[in-house]
């Protein structure tokens, strides 16, 4: 999962995701049969999606940043939470993409921004050549109004993209979404 802060702001000003985006996010996790969520442990979208993943009983892998200014310090049941060593933002974001089967992007706006960690992570996920992958991973953008845009393999729904109907089991037990 990757979310955005928009501009350089104080942690107190940082916004979470909208109720519409949050509802769509939860529905997507349920639709794809997610078992695990990776996030960057920052206030805003990371903290909001962490809460939802814990409430759904998912395993959560936290990839914290080295800079503490925006860190959320998310917690949860020790049996379901794994916290990795802190990394610089760009390195951390790429490690998250390299570790997952699909990326959920939760931007604050409707247009890509050049100087945005969220959109940089999105562009990396859509690229080719990450950790031996030969095609981009499925990427779902959930906009602030709750609408979604799926990219990858000419998919029409997440379920058809992943090669199953919503009633079937995930393609493998380690399926992870971020």
pLDDT, tens only, 61-99: 999 999 999 899 999 999 899 999 999 999 999 999 988
Q: What is the pTM of this model?
A: 0.79
What is the edge-to-edge ordering of all strands in the sheet holding 81-83? 81-83, 59-62, 36-39, 176-177
Contact assessment for residue 158 and residue 168, using Cβ atoms and an 8 Å cutoff: no
pLDDT, tens only, 125-174: 888 545 566 667 888 999 999 999 988 654 444 444 443 333 333 333 34
**Of 46, 54, 58, nearest in space to 76 by CA:** 54
**Of 42, 101, 105, 90, nearest in space to 69 by CA:** 42
- List the domains of the chain with CATH numbers: 15-163+172-177 (3.40.50)
Q: For the chain, what percentages of helix, strand and coil (3-state, to nearest 5) are there?
A: 30, 20, 50
């Amino acid at each position: 999962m990757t979310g955005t802060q928009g501009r350089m702001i104080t942690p107190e000003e940082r916004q979470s995701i909208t109720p519409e985006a949050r509802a769509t996010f939860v529905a997507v996790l349920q639709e794809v049969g997610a078992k695990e969520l990776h996030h960057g442990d920052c206030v805003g979208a990371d903290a909001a999606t962490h809460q939802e993943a814990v409430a759904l009983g998912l395993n959560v892998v936290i990839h914290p940043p080295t800079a503490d200014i925006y860190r959320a310090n998310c917690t949860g049941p020790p049996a379901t939470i794994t916290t990795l060593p802190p990394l610089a933002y760009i390195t951390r974001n790429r490690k998250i993409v390299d570790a997952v089967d699909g990326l959920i992007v939760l931007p604050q706006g409707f247009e890509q921004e050049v100087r945005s960690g969220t959109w940089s992570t999105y562009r990396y996920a859509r690229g080719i050549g990450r950790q031996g992958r030969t095609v981009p991973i499925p990427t779902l953008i959930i906009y602030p109004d709750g609408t979604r845009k799926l990219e990858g393999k000419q998919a029409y729904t997440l379920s058809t993209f992943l090669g199953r109907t919503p009633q079937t089991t995930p393609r493998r037990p380690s399926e992870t979404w971020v």
